[in-house]
Amino acid sequence: EGHAAVAVAGAARRRVLFFPLPFQGHISPMFHLAGVLHARGFAVTVFYPDFFNAPDPSRHPAFDFVPDGIPPDVAAAGRVAETILAMNAAMEREGASPSVREVLTSVIAADEVGQPPVACLIIDTHLLAVQKAAAGLGLPTLVLRTGGAACLRCFLAYDMLLEKGYLPPKESHLYEPVKELPPLRVRDLVHTDDEMVFKILARIAETVRNSKGVVINTFEELEPIELEQLCGELTNNGAATMLAVGPLHKLSSINTGSSLNLRPDQDCIKWLDKQAMGSVLYVSFGSLASLEYGEFMEVAHGLEKSDHPFLWVVRPDLLRGIDGFEDRVEEVLLDGFEDRVEGKGKIVQWAPQQEVLAHHAVGGFWTHCGWNSVLESIGEGPMICMPQFADQIINTRYVQAVWGAGFDLEGKLDREKITKAIRKLMSEKEGAEMKRKVGELKNRVAHCLKSNGSSQIAMDKLVHYI
Ligand code: UDX
């Protein structure tokens, strides 16, 4: 209730527009932020794609939804990086119908027909095209960074990293520290000679610097140094303010379900209910990461050999290059894997992850270290980290070297290594120490969420600022 008082007088007559990037790891935090601001009295309009990863508007009756106008061919762009650039290009394309400018204009014009007037637009950091269109219409933009502060600090430093010769990386320097960005090493940076990725990083920097403020899904007690540096840099170079309001999933109970049209499998909770306390390893590689057939088989055999109960999320598109995989897990595994692990292992296509991580039977998480997964696991259980791309590598470094909440399963996947890692996490002294660190992190999360905690104060500031 303390916070109801902070809802700005008249906020009920103001509308905030939300423009997420249509991927699960970006949609969820944006919806959580929308949920919090709605609870503080703002009207909410969400732009959503109707061609892929569309959230289901009927699950969110309090929000208004407006199609984002992005044409369906963008969905076929391929990799995430390609999709992001194709989406922006489609929105900027001359003669596009409707252009993003038209989409925004139609919502602003709704003010005249009795809708609450628009206060601002909150966009994902990947949507420079939307920001440019909004600027042309005099609509102020805030940016929601769905990843962590360490990662954003690193992304903003790419010019420096290239200038100082850290990038492109030399094989012999991979384990050298990047002394400007401790505790990162050269190998933790986004390694690529791919122009497309640099373009994306440069666009993120431009979007962030041109915004009226950056809202970031992390919290003071988790990344204090990184936030301080970021704040100094951003507020001196463009963005007017920076507010750490995370972990957003703890501030809002909105459930976005799955943008992949998969239902979270609630049976796995019943299955977990039957398992011993802290005995189950939860295995999930998020919504985008995928495995080669050989890697998939090593994971399966490693899990089986570890002799620990496991709950494994096998998304229909987890295995690269095998269509219709969802109906053929057993066939792909060939050798009766599901029969052999019957009772000891459970496979689902999509899990209610937050519920799973909070379940008393779950003792550890084997994760790809997407930022949402890391935030959800902090305070719940220790992690085996298997990063694949982008921020996942930086997140892994922090989980291991800064928070002591897990370790990196470095190198090529093989079943022996996997089995050893699972045992280390679930039944050895090192794992127990990581569990203890996670307990400390849980206290830090609780602290930032108290009514005078850092994230609540930041959220109050955001409400006033809007
Ligand atoms: C992507 C990038 O991969 C990641 O690096 C970046 O930080 C965010 O965008 P994604 O792969 O989707 O993220 O991973 P993550 O950020 O962990 O988000 C996945 C979300 O899906 C989590 O909120 C998780 O709870 C949810 N999830 C995943 C489920 O609810 N059920 C599942 O079975 C698997």
Report residue 278 CA to chain centroid gap: 25
Mean of all residue pLDDT scores within the chain: 89
**Quick one: average pLDDT of 206-224?**
96
Which pLDDT tens digit goes with each residue over 350-378? Answer: 999 999 999 999 999 999 999 999 999 99
**Quick one: average pLDDT of 70-89?**
79
The CB of 350 under 6 Å from ligand 1? The reply is yes
The best mutation among 125, 350, 373 to test binding of ligand 1, ranked by most ligand atoms within 8 Å of the C-beta, falls on 373
Does 10 have pLDDT greater than 70? no
Q: 353, 273, 277: which is closest to 312 by C-alpha?
A: 353
Residue type, 453: G
Between 443 and 99, the more confident residue is: 443
Q: How far is the CA of 287 from the centre of ligand 1 (A)?
A: 5
Confidence of residue 83 (pLDDT cuts 50, 70, 90): confident
The CB of 390 under 6 Å from ligand 1? The reply is yes
Which pLDDT tens digit goes with each residue over 307-343? Answer: 899 999 998 888 887 766 666 666 667 667 777 877 8
**Quick one: average pLDDT of 29-50?**
94
- From atom 25 of ligand 1, which residue's Cα is the shortest distance away? 353
Confidence of residue 9 (pLDDT cuts 50, 70, 90): low
Q: How far is the CA of 423 from the centre of ligand 1 (A)?
A: 25
The best mutation among 200, 287, 318, 348 to test binding of ligand 1, ranked by most ligand atoms within 8 Å of the C-beta, falls on 287
Does 2 have pLDDT greater than 60? no
The CB of 376 under 6 Å from ligand 1? The reply is yes
The CB of 53 under 6 Å from ligand 1? The reply is no
**Quick one: average pLDDT of 179-205?**
88
Does 237 have pLDDT greater than 50? yes
Any alpha helices (H) in 156-292, and if so which ranges? 158-163, 195-209, 224-236, 248-251, 267-273
The CB of 229 under 6 Å from ligand 1? The reply is no
Report residue 433 CA to chain centroid gap: 26
Q: Please report the pLDDT score of residue 234 as a whole number.
A: 87
Look up residue 272 and give its two tokens: 């977990």
SS3 225: helix
| Rounded Cα–Cα distance for residues 298 and 221 (Å) | 37
The best mutation among 217, 372, 376, 395 to test binding of ligand 1, ranked by most ligand atoms within 8 Å of the C-beta, falls on 372
The CB of 154 under 6 Å from ligand 1? The reply is no
Between 197 and 4, the more confident residue is: 197
pTM attached to this predicted model? 0.94
Report residue 452 CA to chain centroid gap: 26
Q: How far is the CA of 223 from the centre of ligand 1 (A)?
A: 20
The CB of 125 under 6 Å from ligand 1? The reply is no
Angle between helices 80-92 and 195-209 (to 10 degrees): 60
Q: Please report the pLDDT score of residue 238 as a whole number.
A: 62
Look up residue 87 and give its two tokens: 């989406």
| Rounded Cα–Cα distance for residues 280 and 357 (Å) | 10
Strand-by-strand arrangement of the 310-313 sheet: 345-348, 310-313, 280-284, 362-367, 383-385, 406-408
Q: Please report the pLDDT score of residue 389 as a whole number.
A: 86
Residue type, 9: A
Angle between helices 80-92 and 128-136 (to 10 degrees): 20
Q: How far is the CA of 115 from the centre of ligand 1 (A)?
A: 34
